[in-house]
Structure 1
């Protein structure tokens, strides 16, 4: 089966390493560092009761309100 701790670690790598995501009390900060072999990364994050859709491509970061 899939180990929950392993999945959480994977999400952490994508959010903090690839996206460079850091949450503060008043802002989401990004400093993307996408590996060369990965073209795009997409994920959702909840911040201040808003569900946001994050999409990363080399040289482009998009943050938008996610449905729901």
Structure 2
């Protein structure tokens, strides 16, 4: 009951409750490395998508050529 009243009082006062595990602050270097890693992953995805689009464009061009022949 005492715990319930304490929680109710904290909520009524608008205090924020945090988890038991503290958040470890990253250094600027670690943040930069994480950003670089995400950027590299994005570039790899974009490269794969570009290759697919180029293959589709090539196939579409071949269809146009075959369509003109018939």
**TM-score, length-scaled by structure 1:** 0.27
Q: Which has the higher contact order (CA 8 A, sep 6+)?
A: 1
Query: Computing the radius of gyration over CA atoms, which structure comes out larger, 1 or 2?
Result: 2
Give the structure with the higher percent strand. Answer: 1
